Structure formats: C-alpha cells, structure tokens
Amino acid sequence: MPFNYSAVDVGLRVVLFAAAVIAVVVMATSKQTEMVPVPGLPTSVRVPYSAEFTDSPAFVYFMAALSTTGLYSIITALASTLLGRKPSYTNTIWLAFALMDVVFVGIVASATGAAGGVAYIGLRGNSHVRWDKICNVYNEFCRHVGTAIAFSLFAAILLVFLTMFSTFALYKKIR
Amino acid sequence: MPFNYSAVDVGLRVVLFAAAVIAVVVMATSKQTEMVPVPGLPTSVRVPYSAEFTDSPAFVYFMAALSTTGLYSIITALASTLLGRKPSYTNTIWLAFALMDVVFVGIVASATGAAGGVAYIGLRGNSHVRWDKICNVYNEFCRHVGTAIAFSLFAAILLVFLTMFSTFALYKKIR
C-alpha cells in the first residue's frame, strides 16, 4: 500500500483546527475580576477591576489570527477530503496548500510572538520602564493567556510541518 | 531563454540578507540617554537614564532571530550560486530551501510580532495596567526600534515569497 499523503494531510488539518479553537476559547474565557487598590487612596480602599484580552491590542490580534486560522484549517481539511480522491487534481492542490500554509505560518507565528511578548511583561514586569507585573494579581487571567499561547505555538509548528508536508508531496511527484 | 529561477532566488536572498543586517544594526544602535525625574523626589531632580534594546527580552529575541536569519540568508545565497549551475542537484536544492525557509518564516514572524507587541506598549502605553508610554521621552530609541521592526516585517514577507518560489520551482519540474 502506498503512503497516503492525503489522509495524513487531512488528519493534521483537523488537529490544527482543534488547536486553533482551543486557543481562541481559552483566550476568550480569560476575563478575571479582582479587588485592587486605587492609586492615591489608602490601600484598604479597593475596587473591582477586570483583566480581559480586549485590554491589549496584541491579544486582540491574537484572537483575529487564530480565529482565521481555525476557519482556514477546516476549509482546507474539507477541500483535502473532497478533492484528494481525484488524482488529476492533486498536484495543484498540494501547490495551493503549500503556498497558503506558509502565509498562515507567518500569521500564527507573529500572533504567538506578539501575545507572548506582552504576556511576558505581565508575568515578570519590566523594571527599566516601571511596567509592573500583573500576574501576581490576575493569576487566572495569566493562566488562560499562557495556555492560549502554548496552543498557538503548537499550531504554528503544525503549520510549518503542513507546509513541509505539501512541499514534500510535490517533490515525490517529480520523476 | 527559459525563466532563470536560480538567479531570482539568489537575488531575493541577497535582499533578505540586507534587510536582516539593517534590522540588526538599527536595533543595536538604538541606545538613548535622557534626563528623567526620579519617583519620590521633586520633578526638578533629574538623573541620566538609558533605554536600549537589552532592556526587553522581546528585543533580545528579535536580535537573535534576525542575526541568525542574516547568516542563513548569506549561506543559502552562496549555496544557491554554487549549486544552481548543476542541473542534477536542483530538485534537492529547491526542496531543502523550501523546507528551511518556512522555519525561518516562523522565526522572523514571531520575532517581529514579539518586538512589535512590546514596542506598541512603548508607543501608546496601556492604561488598563498602568504601563506608561516611553516614546514621548525616548523618541530616538523608539524610532530605531520601529525602523528595525519594519525591516524585519519586510524580511518575513520576503521569506514567505522565497518559500513560495522554491515550492513553485519544484512544481514546475513535475511533468
């Protein structure tokens, strides 16, 4: 039995869809409200204050990028399933997948980087510019953000493999 | 005369090298020292305080990623020049380039995202978590960082095109 490139491709795309959806859902449910002191008033005076992903443009970009990737992955998984059976089309499909996948590598990797860069400041702060860490207060928010970034990193690596896989499938067609 | 894929590939890799080197040099020369007020003392008391790329882990990652990309681009440009003349090797070269280029798409895109996410906070601040903007004071530093990120974004897009180009060169070999 020859190696079934199409079946592996569909499988990887379904895993990519799952990773993107998990990242989006975990980030969307990250809102946390805590009682925090008000600057200029005694520390005993505390008001409820929320942290959510819409507070940071980097996290909003992350959500847009991962949502688009989820949609893309399910569309290409369906296309791969439906068109993979027609041998006459397969070269064009592998080319199209390789060309589109590499664009999504860029989108997901940049989203992971942007969210990761901002989340790291939230975790550790930056004393040089007096940006205080917030994860000591908003621990649940930070746990959600960290989990979403981990799944997004996994999705980016999976997209790299998918691009390599399509390229290799094309390479094997050369006689 | 047939379309010379190899010559275009070498040309794009030289441009990539230039973009990566410019990004690294501009980021490396971003240090700026300003007289800033000390918290807790009257605002008339000011001390010299520097902003440089080593203050932020995201910018350090950016430097590592872009330096590696510069090295990679010049090695592959040389490899493409030397090996491009031997027709028997070209399929393997295009495959190797496509597989390696897509990894660097991920590296450069994530570095651009990380540096961009942090630089945006420097430019606008984030009132939700009381992270003050710093670009009103360290304007020259921010101009350098912004320029480096622009060249890095260009490098990422160029790498996407290089991957597409190698893949397309492979595709054209299928008869």
Interface pTM, i.e. ipTM: 0.91
pLDDT at residue A87 in the model: 67
B55 part of contact set with chain A, CB < 8 Å: yes
Confidence of residue B90 (pLDDT cuts 50, 70, 90): confident
A58 part of contact set with chain B, CB < 8 Å: yes
Confidence of residue A12 (pLDDT cuts 50, 70, 90): very high
Confidence of residue A89 (pLDDT cuts 50, 70, 90): low
Continuous segment of H or E residues that includes residue A14: helix A5-28
- B129 → chain A, closest CA residue: A134
Overall number of domains in chain A: 1
Substitution target in A102, A108, A173 with the highest count of B β-carbons within 10 Å is: A102
List the 27-46 stretch of A: residues with Cβ below 8 A of B.
Answer: 39
Q: Is residue A38 part of a domain?
A: no
Residue whose structure tokens are 């569909």: A10
Please determine, for residue B85, whether its predicted confidence score (pLDDT) is greater than 80.
no
Report the candidate in A149, A147, A139 with the shortest Cα–Cα distance to residue A118: A149
Continuous segment of H or E residues that includes residue B51: strand B46-51
Q: What is the pLDDT of residues B97-107, one digit of tens each?
A: 999 999 999 99
Q: What is the pLDDT of residues B42-71, one digit of tens each?
A: 888 888 889 999 999 999 999 999 999 999
A69 part of contact set with chain B, CB < 8 Å: no
Q: Is residue A48 part of a domain?
A: no
For residues B138-152, average pLDDT: 96
Kindly determine whether residue A128 and residue B55, on different chains, have CB atoms separated by under 8 Å: yes
Query: Which has the minimum average pLDDT: A17-26, A113-122, B5-14?
Result: B5-14
Q: Is residue A122 part of a domain?
A: yes
By residue range, what is the domain housing residue A61? Answer: 8-31+53-169
Cβ contact A157:A15 at 8 Å: no
pLDDT above 90: percentage of residues in chain B: 70
